[in-house]
Each structure stands twice: as structure tokens, then as C-alpha cells.
Amino acid sequence: MTSRRQLLKSAVLGGGAGVLAATAMGSLGPEAAFGAAAPDIVPGAPDPNFAEGRIRSVKDNTLFVLGSNMVFHRIRVVDGTSLWKLGPVAFDQARPGDGLYARGVRMPDGVLAAESVWLNIVNIKGHVRNITSERLHLDHNGQEIVCHQVPGKSVAVYSDAPPSADLSLLRVGQHVQVLGAWRPDTNQVDIATVFSPH
């Protein structure tokens, strides 16, 4: 247990509460907390504080990403940045070839200082064509996507019921939404969450 975690733990158990006081951060409202300096982006326009593409290379703490519109992004990851790859991961999990979405703050030199990075995250809706051992075969717009159940990670959310690691209530023929991590250059996805309407 690092001393940093000790500090965080004692802060929430000692000084924490059931709700965060409104005055905890001055009188900042949500708009201000999200950077009052940044003007709203024009609807329909690209958001400069967001990047999408595939990682071409990783150097020091920077991800070099080629967007689908052929725009090149430099994305800087710092201590406060979260990285997701089927769950929170460390920076060394970012690999060339990974698909990426990142949100942060665009710096004057064009670098995106990332606040959140999501690697290979997909959110696909489709019909369940078949269920085989630990696999859900999804028909996504006519394309077959094989979704893998990952022990200890995958859950099913049946409407607003508490989520369950038990995916066996899913039925062949039903429609679902799969949030998961794409395995690059394949038609396969590891399941983080399956959303089922019933």
C-alpha cells in the first residue's frame, strides 16, 4: 500500500462524507468546473479538445495519433490523465495500432493535454445471433462481431437492475448494446458491459 493510497484512503474515510459539499470547491458550478475559459464549440463542428484515431507511436509521455480524417494528433498523458482499456490501465498499456478517443485541453502549441483517454473503446448495438462458450456473436449492421466474456470484468446490465457478472440471461435473437474493447484489426471485442433492455 503506497503512502499515496494511504493518504487518499484516510481522506475519504476520515474527512469524506456521503455527499460533496457545494462549497468544497468555492462556488464553482459545473460549467465553470469544465473550464469556463473554453467557449462552447459550434454544434456540428469538430471539437478541438477531442481527438480520435489510431496510435501510430508512443514516445515518452506522448501518443502520436492519426485521425480518421488524416489529421495528426499529439496527445500528452500526465499523472492526472485516466487511461481506459477494458478498465483503468497504466500508460504502458497504450500500444501502436490501438484505436483511441481522448478528451482534454488543446494547448497553444497544438498538443492535446489529455484528461481522459479511451483505448479501443466501442459501443455497438446489434442482434445476438448465437451464444457459444463465453462468446456472444453479434450481428452489427450485417457484420459479425464476436464479443468475448472476460472473467472478472464483463457484466450485464438488465435495464436498471444492479449489474451482474452472470450473462446467461441474454437470449439468442435479442437486441443488445455491447460496450467493450476492440481487439485491433479483428472483428472481436472484449465485453466490459452488455446492456439488455429486459
* Smallest separation (angstroms) from other proteins to the CB of 108: 19
**Binds other proteins (CB under 8 A): choice among 64, 103, 111, 146:** 103
- Residue 120 engages other proteins in binding (rule: CB under 8 A): yes
- Residue 165 engages other proteins in binding (rule: CB under 8 A): yes
Distance CA 77, CA 63 (A): 8
Distance CA 79, CA 195 (A): 32
- Residue 95 engages other proteins in binding (rule: CB under 8 A): no
- Residue 18 engages other proteins in binding (rule: CB under 8 A): yes
Q: How far is CA 41 from CA 21, 23, 35, in A?
A: 30, 28, 13
**Binds other proteins (CB under 8 A): choice among 58, 75, 189, 190:** 189
Distance CA 155, CA 165 (A): 4
- Residue 23 engages other proteins in binding (rule: CB under 8 A): no
Distance CA 53, CA 50 (A): 10
- Residue 195 engages other proteins in binding (rule: CB under 8 A): yes
- Residue 13 engages other proteins in binding (rule: CB under 8 A): yes
The amino acid occupying position 192 is A
